[in-house]
C-alpha cells in the first residue's frame, strides 16, 4: 500500500490546534477571574484533560452501548479487521459491537496501540462484503491519521466551556453575583461556539481524508 502523508490534513490539524491553544489562554484567564485564583482552573483543566485522554474511549463505547467482542462471537468481523489492519500497516485494534438497528461505525482510542473499532449490528446486517470493508477501512484510516487523539484533545475545550455555560451559576458559590461570573460565562459561551466551529471545519476534511485512506487500504 502506497500510503502518503496527507499534508493538507496535517496543516489543518496544526492550524486548528494553534487556534484552540489561543482559546485555552483566553479560557484560563476567564476562569481565573471567575474563581479568583489562577492555580485552581489550571488544576481543574489539567485533571479533566488527563481523564478525557485516558478514558475517552471507554466513555465513547459506553455512550453508544457498545461492548468489546472476541473472535468467537464475531469471527468474520475480526478476520476482516485483522486483514485490513495488516494492509494498513497497523496493529489490530480492539473490536466492539453495539446492538442497535442504526447503521453506524466509529473508531476511538488515544493512539494506534489502544484503538478500538466499533460497529453496530444494523451496519453488519445492511452492508455487503465490499461495503463493510470500505467502512472498516475508513475507520482504520482515522486511526492511522491519529484523528481520534486530535479530536479528543480538540473537543475537550468545547466540553469544559459548555459545562461552565450550563452550570456556571452553580459553581460560583458565594461569588455567583456580580460582573466576574457574568464575564466568565460569556467568555465560556464564546469559547464554546468558536471551538465548535473550528472542530466542525476540521472534521469534514478528516472524513474526506479517511475516505481516501480507505480507498488505498482496500485497493
Cβ contacts of residue 96 below 8 Å, gap of 6+? 61, 66, 67, 68, 69, 116, 117, 118, 119
Total of domains in the chain:
1
User: Is 2 inside any structural domain?
Assistant: no
Residue from 73, 82, 131, 139 carrying the catalytic annotation: 139
Distance, CA of 33 to chain centre: 29
Cell 472476541 found at: 70
Model-level pTM?
Answer: 0.74
The better pLDDT of the pair 175, 190 is held by: 190
User: Is 1 inside any structural domain?
Assistant: no
> What pLDDT sits at residue 124?
97
Closest CA to 29 of 190, 154, 167, 177: 190
Is the pLDDT at 125 greater than 70, yes or no? Answer: yes
Give whichever of 108-112, 172-176, 196-200 has the largest mean pLDDT: 108-112
139 catalytic residue (yes or no): yes
- Residues 136, 117 contacting (CB under 8 angstroms): yes
CATH number at residue 109: 3.30.2010.10
User: Is 187 inside any structural domain?
Assistant: yes
- Residues 19, 198 contacting (CB under 8 angstroms): yes
Amino acid at each position: 500500500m502506497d500510503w502518503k502523508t496527507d499534508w493538507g490534513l496535517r496543516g489543518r490539524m496544526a492550524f486548528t490546534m494553534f487556534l484552540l491553544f489561543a482559546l485555552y489562554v483566553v479560557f484560563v484567564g476567564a476562569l481565573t477571574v471567575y474563581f479568583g485564583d489562577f492555580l485552581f482552573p489550571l488544576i481543574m483543566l489539567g485533571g479533566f484533560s488527563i481523564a478525557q485522554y485516558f478514558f475517552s474511549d471507554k466513555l465513547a463505547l459506553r455512550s453508544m452501548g457498545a461492548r468489546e467482542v472476541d473472535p468467537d462471537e464475531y469471527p468474520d468481523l475480526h478476520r476482516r479487521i485483522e486483514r485490513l489492519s495488516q494492509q494498513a500497516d497497523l496493529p489490530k485494534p480492539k473490536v466492539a459491537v453495539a446492538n442497535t438497528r442504526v447503521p453506524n461505525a466509529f473508531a476511538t482510542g488515544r493512539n494506534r496501540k489502544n484503538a478500538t473499532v466499533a460497529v453496530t449490528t444494523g451496519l453488519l446486517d445492511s452492508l455487503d462484503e465490499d461495503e463493510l470493508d470500505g467502512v472498516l477501512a475508513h475507520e482504520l484510516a482515522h486511526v492511522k491519521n491519529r484523528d481520534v487523539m486530535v479530536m479528543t484533545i480538540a473537543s475537550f475545550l468545547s466540553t469544559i466551556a459548555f459545562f461552565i455555560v450550563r452550570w456556571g451559576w452553580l459553581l460560583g458559590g458565594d461569588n455567583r453575583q456580580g460582573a466576574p461570573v457574568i464575564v466568565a460565562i460569556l467568555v465560556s459561551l464564546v469559547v464554546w461556539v468558536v471551538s465548535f466551529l473550528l472542530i466542525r471545519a476540521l472534521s469534514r476534511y478528516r472524513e474526506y481524508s479517511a475516505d481516501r485512506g480507505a480507498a488505498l487500504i482496500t485497493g
